[in-house]
Structure 1
Amino acid sequence: MFKNKGGIIYLVLLAITIIVVIFLYFQYGGDSEVNEQLSNKAEITTFDAEKEKELKEKADIFFASVSSLPKQDISSEKVALGKKLFFDKRLSKNETISCNSCHNMNTYGVDNIALSPGDTEEFGNRNSPTVFYAHMHAMQFWDGRAKDVEEQAGGPILNPVEHNIPSEAFLEERLRGIEEYQTMFAAAYPDSAEAITFATITNAIGAFERQLNPVSRFDEWLDGDSEAMTAQEKEGLTVFINNACITCHNGAALGGNMLQKFGLNGDYWEHTMSEVIDNGVYDLTKEERDKFKFKTPGLRNVEKTYPYFHDGSVEKLEDAVRIMGKLQVANELTEEEVQSVTAFLKALTADVDDEFKE
């Protein structure tokens, strides 16, 4: 009865194989959308030379490399003082946090959490953006209420939820009592009758932040090195430009130069799953036209500065790209386009030198 046992086992295995193949075909084979998504995930490995030439011409119109920016005339004494202040927890009332606590130099100028705890461990209501390249922006804070990094530096210091310093005079008196600061401020501001003031404190912090301009592979490509970016990244830049992302994300910082409504083509919270609906600039102006407007963030180092958006509601860069396509340019990006744009954005990653870290 069992003389043909091997043949029977073979037939059984063959039958199982056929059943599995048929199941997979009907499950996935007839689903053209799934097949397209799977094939779209294949990395793009070639990029036509003529196409790259045209892309470079467009990129030169919309962007600028870090190396092309004018040199800054800032003394080394101011930068050294600004760095010390940036890392000093004595700039918070209870001496629990520093500027670096929320804008960590070791993690691309952010703390990688949605909302940051302050001096009293109370959380702020908006995500802490990176200080890398921030001085290139036309305005500061998510609502654009500060004109530059020097003015911005004073905001968190006096904010009761952040550094919790009661007044400018309180901090001035504290630092004036520290011998090291007496020496450093005198060297950085030799012409001042009183070197340690709230204005010189924020000016020095700004001087430090203005040094945070690392060169990315995208900068190298803009400067003429065609091998600095991969074919996938160049394709992503093409998609980025062709889908009008450059309307808001342009210039040296790839953003930071305008206020824009988040949700031009829908309610943003339905896509970000935000727990709180933030009215943006409207909270300052009470003008209906400013509802849900925020400063467009710069995209440099966006790979490393998650979570995303004003409330840190989105963790993954790919998801942020999809959401921006839907809400801002009314375009359902294909999976291939999402992967390509994400690849391009990663070409913007660059870390600062160790000299700027504690």
Structure 2
Amino acid sequence: MNAHIKQRILHLALVVLPLASPCIAAPLNEPIKPLPRWHTEDAGRAELGRRLFNDKRLSANGAVACSSCHQLDRGGADDKRLSVGLNGDLTLVNTPTVLNASLNFRQFWNGRAATLEAQVDDVIRNPREMGSEWPALLARLAADETYRDAFESSYADGVTQANVQNAIATYERTLLTPKARFDLFLEGDSTAISDEEKTGYARFKQSGCISCHQGMNVGGNMFQKFGVMGDYFKDKGSSSEADLGRFSVTGRDEDRHVFKVPGLRNVELTAPYFHDASAQTLEDAVDVMFKYQLGRKADPEDKRLIILFLKTLTGETKGAQ
């Protein structure tokens, strides 16, 4: 039996959950956990990271910043199928959201970065994205007196590669989106979501979606094959290097078409969906998940209710600036 099918069976066995009554608050043992309402990151480093995140001088030709692709007013993602890099080149995959990214167990669709700091390094040096070389970038930053002062205030050794990476990562760790209506429900407010939204959550669990989308980020904590119950890529009729997923990192055949499961918080804001941006709407995305991950067609009423639930995961973004 395929290892990913075994994993699916195990997950489903662990989450055989009864349909909750729509009129009661969520029990304490729910597989989704609320986000904390605060963070403990150093304020000076986070503010420095915010400036760097929005500074186009991090790219080799001053054309793009981190915020060019991770647009905080668009759910921390990009509304384009593929993002535009420093020379007009397109990224190979759809830009994932930076909001709540600190909760992911790995970064990037193929999980090639273990930390946010490693993710920053990858993007800054990526020739399709920022295309910078660290010596030149550090010289540009050190030539700016305000940056020099800010780095010296926050780091004993001033402007260094490690400190640039850490400052941006520190800022990204502040980009949590708490107080989603579903979080309020989990915290005991049974009126925070409607009866239909509660039923949608019950259908989300009953259908098996919860086997991969759980935890604080409603995902982001495991790898999974895209196409457990069907050949998504064969049916798509075309493929690219990006479709290889985790295989590009490990070279292991069992990792072909394996991706980090995305978190679903704020998902209503981050269309298009999937690494290849093939789903333009939540309705499309749910259809694909039912067909290729769960092995059946989504019942129209189940789909409607599940989408209502998904929209309760949109959190407070005013702090993500």
1:142-181 to 2 correspondences below 5 Å: 142-165=109-132, 167-181=133-147
2:238 aligned with 1:269: no
Structure 1 residues 237 and 356, CA gap change in structure 2 (3 angstroms): closer
Aligned residue identity for 1:318: E
Map 1:146-225 → 2, pairs under 5 A: 146-165=113-132, 167-189=133-155, 192=156, 194-215=157-178, 216-225=180-189
Alpha-carbon separation, structure 2, partners of 1:225 and 1:279: 43
Please give the TM-score of this superposition, normalised by the length of structure 2: 0.89
In structure 2, relative to structure 1, the CA distance for the partners of 1:351 and 1:61 (3 Å cut) is closer
Report what 1:79 is aligned to: 46
| Aligned partner of 1:61 among 4, 16, 30 | 30
The correspondence of residues 236-315 of structure 1 with structure 2, limited to 5 A, is 236-269=200-233, 276=240, 278-315=243-280
Larger radius of gyration: 1
**CA 1:60–1:274 in 2, change beyond 3 Å: closer, same or farther?**
farther
For the structure 1 residues 273 and 54, does the alpha-carbon distance in structure 2 shift closer, same or farther, using more than 3 Å as the test?
Answer: farther
Q: Distance in 2 between the 1:159 and 1:338 partners?
A: 38
Is the CA contact (8 Å cut-off) linking 2:245 and 2:255 kept in structure 1? yes
CA–CA distance in 2 between the matches of 1:282 and 1:276? 13
**Structure 1 residues 78-134: Cα deviation after superposition (integer angstroms, max 9, x where no partner):** 111010000000000000000000001111101111111100110011110000000
| Structure 2 letter corresponding to 1:256 | G
**Residues 109 and 320 of structure 1: is their aligned pair in 2 closer, same or farther, counting only changes over 3 Å?**
same
Whether the 8 Å CA contact 1:282–1:292 is kept in 2: the answer is: yes
Give distance in 2, aligned partners of 1:172 and 1:246: 44
1:54 positional shift: 7.4
More contact order relative to length (CA 8 Å, sep ≥ 6): 2
What's the CA shift for 1:348? 0.7
Equivalent in 99, 108, 112 of residue 79 of structure 2: 112
CA deviations over 1:212-266 (Å, ceiling 9, x no partner): 1122111111111111111121111111111121111110000011111000011
SS at match of 1:60: coil
| Alpha-carbon spacing, 1:351–1:274, altered in 2? closer, same or farther (3 Å) | farther
Residue 234 in structure 1 maps to residue 198 in structure 2? yes
Return 5+ residue gaps in structure 2 as ranges.
1-18
Q: CA deviation at 1:356?
A: 3.9
1:350 aligns with 2:320: no
- TM-score, normalised by the number of residues in structure 1: 0.80
- Count of paired positions: 301
Instruction: Please tell me the residue identity of whatever aligns with 1:325.
Output: F
Output the CA distance in 1 between the equivalents of 2:165 and 2:95.
18
Q: Do the aligned partners of residues 332 and 285 (structure 1) sit closer, same or farther apart at CA in structure 2, a change above 3 Å counting?
A: same
SS in 1 for 2:224: strand
Aligned counterparts of 1:100 and 1:309: Cα–Cα separation in 2 = 20
User: Cα RMSD between the aligned structures?
Assistant: 1.9
For structure 1, the 5+ residue unaligned runs are: 1-48
Aligned identity (percent) is 38
Shift of 1:326: 1.2
Is contact 2:25–2:189 with CA below 8 Å preserved after alignment?
no
Cα distance in 2, alignment partners of residues 303 and 273 from structure 1: 27
Q: 1:13-48: per-residue Cα shift (whole Å, max 9, x none)?
A: xxxxxxxxxxxxxxxxxxxxxxxxxxxxxxxxxxxx
Judging changes above 3 Å, is the alpha-carbon distance between structure 1 residues 248 and 274 closer, same or farther for their aligned structure 2 residues?
farther
Report the 3-state secondary structure (helix = DSSP H, G, I; strand = E; otherwise coil) of the residue aligned with 1:318: helix
* Among 92, 95, 100, the residue aligned to 1:133: 100
Q: Which residue of 2 aligns with 1:100?
A: 67
Distance 1:183 1:316 in 2: 45
